[in-house]
Chain A
C-alpha cells in the first residue's frame, strides 16, 4: 500500500481556498495539496501520497538515522570481532542454499564492497 515519496516544497499558493504547493521530486515537479500540513514552509521536505502532503519529513532525523547506520558494526571491524566475521561468512553463503557449488553468489566480492 501507500507509495509515498519525499519532495521539497518550491512554492505555496492558495487556490479556490485550498492550500496547494509545487513540490520538487528530484527534477520532477508536481502540484501537491498542503491542506494536511498547514504550517509547512517553502524549502521543507514532505512525504507525498497521491498528490497530498501527509507528513513533514524531518531532515535532522534522517541524518541521524544514516549516521546510526554508519556507526553500525564499526567496533567489530576495528577489533576484528570474530562474531561479525562469522556472520559475514554466513551471509555470503545463505542465499545459495538451493544451489550446490557454494561460492557462486560472489560472497568475497561483496565483502570487499562492504569494507570499501
Chain B
C-alpha cells in the first residue's frame, strides 16, 4: 500500500536507529500514548532495537482497554434484550464485563454483529425497522467523528430505531492526569498521530510547557515511530520541551475543522471513568442534549447500572511505568490473555498482553530466533 510500505523500509529504519543510538547519552523514559503505536512496536520488534537507555512505556491509548467496566456491563445488558441488534467493532466482543462478554451474549441468543463502520450499523437499522439497532460507540478522538456523523445522519434520515451507547475518551486530559501523578516517570510523549489528524496539535503546547515534557506527534509505521523517538530523545538530550509534528503527512496544526465542528455539535465534554483508573475530569464525550434521544443509555434505561471494579491487578502502576508487567504477582499465572485480570491484558495491544507474548520466551529469544535465520536463504 502506497504511503504505508515506504514507512516500513528496513534500510531507512537502520539509519534512524543509528541516529537514535548516536544521540542517546542518558536513560530516558518515553511513553507512546496510542495502542496502535504499541502494536506496531511489538509487531516489528522495535523496542529490542532501540538503545538500552531508551525505555518505551506503553500508554493508556487503547480504547478497548480503557472503556469502563460499567459501560461494558451496560452494553451486555442492552445486547441481551429481545429484539435488539447490537453492533460493535470487532475489538469489543472479547472485552469482559463483570461476568460475561459479548461473545457469550451471542451464545445465549443475543443478536450481536460485528461491523467495519458505524454507518454499517445505521444501514442495518434502516433495513430492520421493526428492530432496535444499537451501536457501541467507543474510541478516542479518531473514532468519535465517524460515530458523531452516524448519529447526525440517523437524525437527518429520521432513523428512529437507531441509538448509540457512547463512551468516548479524550487524550489530552489523560496526559495531564498521568503527569500530575506524583510517581510518574514519563519524560516525553509520542502523541497519537491519528487523534491529531482530527484534533490538530493546539491542545499540546500548554501541556508541554506546564509539565516541561517534549510531545512529538507520531505516526504508526516503524519509520514514523523511530522518527518520533529520535525527535523526543534529541529534545530530552538538549533539555527542550516543545511540541513537534513528526507525522506531517497526516496531521495539520488545526486538525480536521469539519470533524471538530461535528464533534462540538453532537457531543459534549464530560467526566469519564477509565477502566481501572477512575474518573479523569473532562476526559470523555457524551451525546449533547440535542442528540440525547439517540442515547442508548437513556433509551434502554441502563443508567443505573453501576459496577464496582474489583481491585485485582496493578495495571495502573504498569501504565505509569512504575512496574513492568511481569513484575505483577498475577502476571502469567492468574492473569493471561485468555483469562485477563486487567484491561492491559485484555487487548492484544495492552502492555501486559504484549509483555506476555515476550516473557513466555524466558529471555533468550532475541538470540535464538536470528540464529535460526542463518539457514534462511532470504536473511
- Residues of A near any B CB (own CB < 8 A): 1-8, 16-18, 25-26, 33, 35-38, 45, 47, 49-52, 54-55, 57-59, 61-62, 64-66, 69-70, 72-73, 76, 83-84, 87-88, 90-91, 94-99, 101, 104-106, 109-110, 113-114, 116
Contact = CB atoms under 8 A, between A and B. Distances in A.
Contacts of A2: 34, 36, 139-140, 142-143, 192, 194-195
B210 interface: no
B214 interface: no
The 4 tightest CB contacts between A and B, nearest first, are A51-B117, A87-B21, A99-B367, A2-B142
A75 to B, nearest CB: 11
A113 B13 CA distance: 11
Interface string B234-271: 00000000000000111110011011001000000000
Interface stretch (B46-54, B77-85, B105-113, B308-316): B46-54
A95 B48 CA distance: 5
Nearest to A54: B197
A49 B142 contact: yes
Contacts of B341: none
Contacts of B12: 66, 69-70
B18 A50 contact: no
B338 interface: no
Interface in B332-379: 363-364, 366-368, 370-371, 373-374, 379
By DSSP majority rule, is chain A's interface helix, strand, loop, or mixed? mixed
> Max chain B CB contacts within 10 Å: which of A5, A25, A52, A97?
A52
B17 to A, nearest CB: 6
Contacts of B89: 50
A114 B2 contact: no
Contacts of A95: 48-49, 366
A72 B252 contact: no
Contacts of B153: 18
B134 interface: no
A97 to B, nearest CB: 7
A90 B34 contact: no
A76 B48 contact: no
Interface stretch (B3-11, B68-76, B296-304): B3-11
A8 B4 CA distance: 12
Given A1-B192, A6-B2, A113-B11, 8 more contacts: A1-B63, A26-B2, A52-B146, A55-B198, A69-B16, A72-B15, A73-B15, A88-B18
B344 to A, nearest CB: 14
Contacts of B374: 106
B19 interface: yes
Contact of B2 (A35, A45, A51, A99): A45
10 contacts: A4-B142, A8-B2, A17-B156, A18-B153, A26-B2, A26-B4, A50-B89, A51-B118, A58-B250, A62-B6
B367 A65 contact: no
B18 A73 contact: yes
Contact of A110 (B14, B21, B363): B14
Contacts of A37: 256, 258
B36 A98 contact: no
A38 B306 CA distance: 41
A16 B157 contact: yes
B273 interface: no
Contacts of B367: 96, 98-99, 101, 104-105
Contacts of A88: 18, 21
Contacts of B366: 95-96, 98-99, 105
Contact of B21 (A1, A3, A90, A98): A90
A5 B21 contact: no
A116 B14 CA distance: 11
Nearest to B262: A36
A49 B16 contact: no
B192 A91 contact: no
Contacts of B22: 73, 76, 83-84, 87
Contacts of B198: 54-55
B223 A113 contact: no
Contacts of A54: 142, 145, 194, 197-198, 256, 259
A87 B20 CA distance: 9
B189 to A, nearest CB: 15
A26 B6 CA distance: 13
